[in-house]
Amino acid sequence: MSRILHELNVDLGDRSYPIVIGQQLLGNYDLTPWVGGSQVMIVTNETVAPLYLERAIRSFPGLQVDTVVLPDGEQYKDWGTLNRIFDALLEKRHSRKTTLVALGGGVVGDMTGFAAACYQRGVPFIQIPTTLLSQVDSSVGGKTGINHPLGKNMIGAFHQPDVVLIDTASLTTLPSREVSAGLAEVIKYGLIRDLDFLAWLEAEMERLVALDSEALAEAIYRSCRCKAEVVALDEREGGLRAILNLGHTFGHAIETFAGYGNWLHGEAVGTGMIMAADLSAREGMISDADERRVRDIVRRAGLPARPPEGMSPDDFMALMAVDKKNIDGKLRLVLLAHVGQAVVTADSKPENLTETLAKFCR
């Protein structure tokens, strides 16, 4: 049965947009009111297409609907794959009034959003995230982009969707490893800004891991609301928004070291949050009990607690040096002032970072 459970508005002035969360929405919820012209290009991948593409097409009755099916995986988040979207748009003669639709996880969303930002200098787009990670993270906030061999997400744009449609039914086909990866970002919201939510997650983690749909819908809603609040306060990442990167500086280094696609983004963020908590404790910002609390909830979500075999402190230092948060060559990290409150700092002691890296790299 199709049912809307939550609606949320991301408040960005004339770029505001709604997030609609519910059950069995795909194929039943009419998305044509968000399409300005007569053309739609749905971008998805080989894994999602057989499951949901037909239903997504049914969400746009009466329009010219074309599709592009990309290979699945972070390793394809590059220019060559992005260009397949441009090829399809030009071959099918999509005008600057076309609407792009991202149907899939974060990679599809980031690439489709970037294609929408760049095609004929910008066209509208709609997000239909089908993984937990993309539902709670990459569908909110307007960050789009692709990877460069020297760094993740180095090439991109801020481009807001016109609407985000989240169907919890699409999680029933998600591998458990990807559920855990999504939970990493869910836990993050509790850690950076919402202690109540963290306590709720500690109580409900078993239901979430077991894919209880009501618990998942609640977690998605509270995560999106938290991210929407942060993004509304700081759309361009001038300050506050950087706290959303808790665990991401260590995590990006892990992903780059492992090779894109070998570690899931959420897995790397999970380990990264444990490392950030360890460093926060060494800095005297949180207690050892708090550090354990972070480690426990991350592990209960089924996430790895250590970086990959063979990754050294030097690997971390070299890869973290190109992080986008750095300013004029100075490393900036997101740490925990308390559990439930993150801060961005360039002032952590180098010896503490050295100790954290030494502890985890062995």
DSSP-derived letter for residue 281 is H
Question: At a CB cut-off of 8 Å and minimum separation 6, what does 268 contact?
Answer: 250, 251, 252, 254, 255, 258
Pairing of strands 17-23, 39-45: unpaired
Q: Which of 241, 255, 267, 332 is catalytic?
A: 241
Sheet holding 39-45, edge to edge: 3-10, 17-23, 163-167, 125-129, 99-104, 39-45, 64-70
User: Active-site residue 237, yes or no?
Assistant: yes
Using the rule CB under 8 A, give the single segment among 114-122, 196-204, 207-215, 354-362 that binds a copy of itself: 114-122
| Active-site residue, selected from the candidate residues 193, 222, 248, 282 | 248
Active site residue 332: no
107 marked among binding-site residues: yes
Residue 6 is among the residues annotated as catalytic for this protein: no
* Catalytic-residue membership of 143: yes
**92 belongs to the catalytic site:** no
- Number of neighbouring beta carbons within 10 Å of residue 14: 5
Query: Which two three-digit tokens encode residue 323?
Result: 């992080």
Question: According to the binding rule CB under 8 A, does residue 14 interact with a copy of itself?
Answer: no
Q: Least CB distance from residue 138 to a copy of itself, whole Å?
A: 13
Tokens matching residue 7? 């609606």
Instruction: Given the residues 55, 159, 193, 252, select the one marked as catalytic.
Output: 252
- Catalytic, 236? Answer no
The residue within the footprint of a copy of itself, chosen from 6, 18, 158, 212 (CB under 8 A), is 158
The amino acid at 87: D
| Binding-site member from 124, 145, 272, 308 for a copy of itself (CB under 8 A) | 145
Residue 119 binds a copy of itself (CB under 8 A): yes
Residue range at the interface with a copy of itself (CB under 8 A); choices 21-29, 53-61, 80-88, 265-273 = 80-88
Closest CA relative to residue 51, chosen from 74, 82, 27, 73: 27
Segment contacting a copy of itself (CB under 8 A): 2-10, 37-45, 176-184, 224-232? 37-45
**Is 349 labelled a binding residue?**
no
Task: Provide the token pair at 311.
Answer: 């990754």
Residue 151 binds a copy of itself, judged by CB under 8 A: yes
Q: Is 216 left (phi over 0), alpha (psi -120 to 50) or beta?
A: alpha
By the 10 Å C-beta count (0-12 exposed, 13-18 middle, 19+ buried), 89 is classed as buried
97 labelled catalytic = no
Of the candidate residues 24, 27, 29, 37, the single one contacting a copy of itself (CB under 8 A): 37
Q: Nearer Cβ to a copy of itself, position 86 or 200?
A: 86
Q: Which of 329, 350, 351, 362 binds a copy of itself (CB under 8 A)?
A: 329
For 250, phi then psi, to 5°, come to -60, -40
Is 152 annotated as contributing to ligand binding?
yes
64 burial (CB, 10 Å; 0-12 / 13-18 / 19+) is middle
Question: Which is the catalytic residue, given 45, 94, 147, 185?
Answer: 185
The CA–CA distances, whole Å, from 249 to 152, 243, 253 equal 11, 11, 6
- C-beta of residue 290 within 8 angstroms of C-beta of residue 336: yes
- Angle between helix 288-300 and 265-282 (nearest 10): 170
Using the contact rule CB under 8 A, the part of the chain among 1-9, 146-154, 163-171, 194-202 near a copy of itself is: 146-154
User: Hey, which residues are catalytic here?
Assistant: 121, 143, 185, 227, 237, 241, 245, 248, 252, 265
Site residues for a copy of itself per CB under 8 A:
37-39, 79, 83, 86-87, 90-91, 93, 95-97, 117-122, 143-145, 148, 150-151, 153-158, 236, 321-322, 324, 326-329
Q: Which parts are annotated binding residues? A: 72-77, 106-110, 130-131, 143, 152, 185, 248, 265
Q: Which parts are annotated binding residues for Zn(2+)? A: 185, 248, 265
Q: Which parts are annotated binding residues for NAD(+)? A: 72-77, 106-110, 130-131, 143, 152
